[in-house]
């Protein structure tokens, strides 16, 4: 059987640029996983791992121009955005190197023996060990920060786990380039290059999650693809954790007082957030609750103006463009839905930005959440539509806003726009809204926009299903926790303990000691 | 359809004692879950939760005589063991109350805004919120500490999650009694009694894990039952985490030097650990590697003597007794397996303790791990056999010991018996053994026995599958982490933050701050 070629495609023209690779066969996936597994011991030394991550960051920075050019050619995300993404990616690699140096992620806990207790307590020393080979599924929309050199890879390597990345078909050349840089960095740090591998192909991705030596997976992508892989991970003879980020609507609520105070600023800010990266962010605001009435009209007026002035953009691939155009049409055809700025085809290869609007009553009644028997298909408005479009829901009062929020499943983010007085607490809808959206999302934003997920120790990029398939985060300091498991050592003599747990604490790790 | 009665049965006679309850119908499960869900808000106050847990402990202690009598009547575990289990259970409830007071489990992290960064970092404040209703599946072998008032319940309540327990059919009366005490404690603490409920019945257990308002599950039991529930949890439209402890062989390695040094002590200690609780501990040593030769013979000699002197005991129920007798027979019939002390029927309602032995070579060659094509059924020796029996594997050299360990799947514990010289580190097999068993187990014990799992902050009672279905622990301080998910607040004004995250830190919580 001939190998299936993997092409790099220019989304600006839809034309194949070059053949980059071939899809991995079962045997090739097996070989990559086995080689990664065999290399895992080399990652045991934290000093080497930190050096590896920093060298990888340095090599990416040095090659930034080349990487940006490669990524732009097959994603059309533009040099500005991609240059920023290189910085985000290298910053993330260095942040995980710092986390390795600091060592809090090992969560060392020591209980001293206490023979006076009933029953007597033996000495217990606990830390965390790496799981083994991690499968990473790259995202379409971040060819760097959520792909080969991205957060899943960086956090897994930081934890001491070798990584096999299933490349995204939208940027195979960038994937290969980044993999070669990571492997060069590994060698420079004295590690075998097999600690990072890349495979291409849908079937290879499925083989990967089923491979007996794969111990965990990280995924960023669609609900459909992610759920299929989640199901495969759970159905294994030995199930493995599957940390997937699957999809999010990212609701926004604009209170009447906020609209009264700064309608134009909110409308313009919303337009900018919706169209950032041509609407291809997982935290794009996809459902915006705007009050009925004149102040709300000023919000949508500003949104209409800003979206009307937005240049058409190129989506990551032509299938996405078709899905976007079809998804918008299907939503626009629902009862009571109008399209003040119709998003859609802006040319043979581009799409224009826009938005739809629907009264809250119609949305609630048109879904299973309505009192009427059966729905009229409005659930579709509660599904993510990838691309530069959002749905504005006009609500009459807080009860209606709460009813709409009550229809939603899990989200990566939820955003509130409040007035200055409302931010001061006390009476008013703000506290109730905060409480309600906390149940819906992994991150709550006030008077800002959800796009732009800071890489920071306290970040949480996850949320109730389907935002995430686990309660972990794929961005921020705690993302490393996904790739580790605890082990407790009971009455193990000091000389036989791993250095991380020895009494003298030779690595200077933070630890919680129970005397 | 008539309700299915739930009987309390005396395992000492096999006779029904009394009808305790009826199996819950779908509607009753739904009602219990909805009532628990509706009560969740009442658990939001940490001070109230801690008081509730302490009151529950006090009520259990006050009722200890009654509880022990009820539990002994339907488990035959004996007043001594059960009195100890009450203390373990109430100690555990109080330990989680202390954890609630201390607040580290909220893992508060605060990143200050930094406009000088590229891109500027917004203020982020992260903590953890309770998931919602937790389903707990009680274990047969711990009618208290891993059942209604046990560690899963205590940790879930501590996290702020209402609990619906699926009672174990071996101790329904004890379950009802404990539930009534917990509900009294709830009311005394000002909480609605619906924060804890108990349901009976196999079907009710399955309904529970599938209920849309159930957010997570904790389970202690068999591989077969646990895997079925795990699969149901993963197959839900919205999958939920399933923290199951399914089964463990708990390998023990006795080095030649340790056997030379203290063979009799090891053999007697092994017998005591194997027969503790009539061999019904999940951490019972089920596979023991003993060196060939005279020193190893002294170990097995001491084991033979001690087991021969052990009185027959009553297992938790008659099905278990039949499974035990059949499981021992099936194993004893395998090629190269002998039974120096044949375990089995010790009377109409009791079982005698014993052990089987097999050469390491025969075990390796008799399984898929052997070089020969196909197995001869020796995999069975690598499966847990619940009851007072263990399998002694005689090995010729460290290579054989390593080969046997290489056949094993995940375990709750792994134990090494080393000589005094070996505990001092340096050359010898000890370091390699520690490294190998760390890959196999959640807890590594040296020169002790795995039975007796201390309730302590650094404890880890879990391990690679099938020991556990997740990387969490069901015993110890970090067990609470299973019932929480992180939420990050971005640029949320102080007055709207939960008290846990406010700048002034009114609750005095430990927190990690990034300036």
Indicate the pLDDT class of residue A321, thresholds 50, 70 and 90: very high
* Active-site residue list of B: 245, 282
pLDDT > 70 in chain A, percent = 98
Question: What's the pLDDT score for residue B65?
Answer: 98
Residues in chain B: 515
Question: What's the pLDDT score for residue A287?
Answer: 98
Residue range A27-57, pLDDT digits in tens: 999 999 999 999 999 999 999 999 999 999 9
Selected catalytic residue, list A28, A245, A365, A422 = A245
Least Cα separation, residue A286 to chain B (angstroms): 19
Rounded CA separation A357/B27 (Å)? 40
User: Which residues on adjacent β-strands are paired with residue B444?
Assistant: A489, B414
pLDDT > 90 in chain A, percent = 94
Question: What's the pLDDT score for residue B239?
Answer: 98
Pick A456's closest partner by Cβ from B87, B441, B514.
Answer: B514
With contacts defined as CB-CB under 8 Å, which chain B residues touch A438? 129, 487
Residue of B nearest to A122 (CA): B454
Question: What's the pLDDT score for residue A95?
Answer: 97
Rounded CA separation A27/A60 (Å)? 30
Residue range A159-211, pLDDT digits in tens: 999 999 999 999 999 999 999 999 999 999 999 999 999 999 999 999 999 99
A345 class by beta-carbon count within 10 Å (0-12 exposed, 13-18 middle, 19+ buried): middle
Q: Is the peptide bond before A459 cis (omega within 30 degrees of 0)?
A: no
With contacts defined as CB-CB under 8 Å, which chain B residues touch A130? none
Question: What's the pLDDT score for residue A2?
Answer: 79
Residue of B nearest to A424 (CA): B495
Interchain CB distance below 8 Å, A487 and B409:
no
Asked whether B174 and B71 are in contact (CB, 8 A), the reply is yes
Helix B398-405 with B430-438: angle, nearest 10 deg: 10
Question: What's the pLDDT score for residue A371?
Answer: 52
Active site residue A282: yes
Question: What's the pLDDT score for residue B182?
Answer: 98
Question: What's the pLDDT score for residue B427?
Answer: 64
Three-state DSSP state, A101: helix
With contacts defined as CB-CB under 8 Å, which chain A residues touch B489? 443-444, 446
Pick B445's closest partner by Cβ from A129, A444, A490.
Answer: A490
Q: Is the peptide bond before A89 cis (omega within 30 degrees of 0)?
A: no
Asked whether B141 and B11 are in contact (CB, 8 A), the reply is no
Segments of chain B scoring below 70 in pLDDT: 1, 369-375, 427
Rounded CA separation A255/A511 (Å)? 45
The DSSP H or E segment spanning B251 is strand B251-254
With contacts defined as CB-CB under 8 Å, which chain A residues touch B131? 471
Q: What is the mean pLDDT of chain A?
A: 96
Rounded CA separation A383/A330 (Å)? 12
Indicate the pLDDT class of residue A374, thresholds 50, 70 and 90: low
Q: How far is CA A153 from CA A70, A103, A157, in A?
A: 20, 18, 6
Pick B490's closest partner by Cβ from A87, A109, A444.
Answer: A444
Least Cα separation, residue A39 to chain B (angstroms): 15
What's this model's pTM, rounded to 2 decimal places?
0.97
Pick B496's closest partner by Cβ from A430, A443, A476.
Answer: A430
With contacts defined as CB-CB under 8 Å, which chain A residues touch B460? 126, 486-488
Interchain CB distance below 8 Å, B488 and A514:
no
Question: What's the pLDDT score for residue B376?
Answer: 82
Helix B202-210 with B26-38: angle, nearest 10 deg: 50
- Across the beta sheet with B133-137, the strand order is B196-199, B163-166, B133-137, B214-220, B242-245
The b-or-e profile of B53-86 (16+ CB within 10 A means b, else e) is: bbbbbbbbbebbeebbebbbbbbbbbeebbbbbb
With contacts defined as CB-CB under 8 Å, which chain B residues touch A231? 234-235
Q: Which of A437, A458, A470, A502 to mutate to test the interface with B (most CBs of B within 10 A)?
A: A458
Interchain CB distance below 8 Å, A458 and B109:
yes
Least Cα separation, residue A61 to chain B (angstroms): 15
Indicate the pLDDT class of residue A292, thresholds 50, 70 and 90: very high
Question: What's the pLDDT score for residue A118?
Answer: 80
Residue of A nearest to B123 (CA): A458
Pick A496's closest partner by Cβ from B119, B431, B496.
Answer: B431
Interchain CB distance below 8 Å, A446 and B490:
yes
Q: How far is CA B483 from CA A44, B30, B105, B156, B494, in A?
A: 31, 21, 11, 6, 26
Rounded CA separation A284/A388 (Å)? 9
Question: What's the pLDDT score for residue A1?
Answer: 63
Question: What's the pLDDT score for residue A130?
Answer: 98
Q: How far is CA A198 from CA A164, A174, A262, B4, B245, in A?
A: 6, 11, 48, 56, 35
Least Cα separation, residue B338 to chain A (angstroms): 31
Query: Residue A111's closest CA among B440, B443, B419?
Result: B443
Rounded CA separation A441/B144 (Å)? 36
Selected catalytic residue, list A23, A28, A194, A282 = A282
Provide the ipTM.
0.97
Rounded CA separation B193/B176 (Å)? 14
Active site residue A245: yes
Question: What's the pLDDT score for residue B372?
Answer: 54
Least Cα separation, residue B339 to chain A (angstroms): 31
Least Cα separation, residue B497 to chain A (angstroms): 8
Query: What are the φ/ψ torsions at residue A129 (nearest 5 degrees)?
Result: -115, 150
């Amino acid at each position: 059987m001939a190998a299936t070629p993997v092409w790099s495609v220019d989304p600006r023209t839809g034309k194949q640029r070059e053949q980059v690779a071939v899809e991995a066969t079962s045997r090739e996936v097996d070989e990559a996983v086995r080689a990664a597994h065999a290399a895992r011991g080399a990652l045991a030394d934290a000093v080497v791992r930190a050096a590896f991550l920093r060298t990888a960051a340095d090599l990416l920075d040095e090659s930034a121009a080349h990487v940006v050019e490669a990524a732009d050619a097959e994603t059309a995300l533009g040099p500005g955005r991609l240059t920023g993404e290189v910085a985000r990616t290298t910053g993330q690699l260095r942040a995980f190197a710092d986390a390795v140096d600091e060592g809090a992620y090992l969560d060392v806990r020591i209980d001293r023996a206490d023979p006076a207790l009933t029953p007597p307590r033996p000495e217990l020393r606990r830390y965390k060990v790496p799981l083994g080979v991690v499968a990473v599924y790259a995202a379409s929309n971040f060819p760097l920060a959520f792909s080969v050199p991205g957060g899943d890879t960086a956090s897994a390597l930081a934890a001491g786990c070798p990584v096999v990345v299933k490349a995204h078909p939208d940027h195979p050349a960038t994937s290969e380039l980044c993999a070669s840089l990571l492997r060069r960095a590994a060698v420079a740090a004295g590690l075998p290059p097999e600690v990072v591998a890349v495979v291409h192909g849908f079937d290879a991705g499925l083989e990967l999650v089923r491979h007996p030596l794969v111990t965990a997976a990280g995924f960023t992508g669609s609900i459909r693809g992610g759920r299929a892989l989640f199901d495969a991970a759970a159905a294994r003879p030995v199930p493995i954790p599957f940390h997937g980020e699957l999809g999010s609507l990212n609701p926004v609520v604009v209170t009447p007082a906020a609209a009264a105070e700064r309608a134009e600023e909110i409308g313009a800010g919303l337009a900018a957030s919706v169209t950032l990266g041509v609407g291809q962010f997982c935290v794009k605001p996809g459902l915006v609750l705007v009050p009925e009435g004149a102040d709300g009209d000023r919000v949508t007026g500003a949104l209409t103006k800003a979206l009307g002035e937005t240049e058409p953009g190129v989506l990551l691939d032509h299938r996405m463009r078709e899905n976007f155009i079809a998804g918008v049409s299907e939503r626009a055809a629902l009862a009571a839905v109008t399209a003040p700025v119709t998003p859609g085809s802006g040319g043979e290869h581009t799409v224009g930005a826009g938005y739809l609007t629907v009264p809250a009553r119609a949305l609630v009644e048109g879904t299973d959440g309505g009192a009427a028997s059966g729905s009229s298909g409005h659930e579709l408005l509660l599904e993510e539509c990838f691309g530069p479009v959002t749905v504005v829901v006009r609500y009459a009062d807080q009860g209606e806003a709460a009813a709409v929020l009550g229809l939603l499943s899990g989200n990566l983010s939820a955003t509130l726009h409040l007035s200055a007085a409302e931010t001061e607490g006390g009476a008013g809808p703000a506290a109730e809204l905060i409480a309600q959206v906390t149940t819906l999302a992994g991150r709550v934003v006030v008077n800002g926009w959800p796009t732009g997920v800071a890489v920071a120790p306290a970040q949480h990029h996850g949320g109730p299903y389907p935002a995430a398939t686990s309660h972990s985060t794929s961005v921020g300091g705690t993302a490393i926790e996904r790739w580790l498991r605890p082990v407790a050592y009971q009455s193990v003599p000091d000389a036989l303990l791993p250095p991380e747990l020895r009494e003298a604490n030779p690595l200077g790790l933070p630890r919680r000691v129970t005397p």
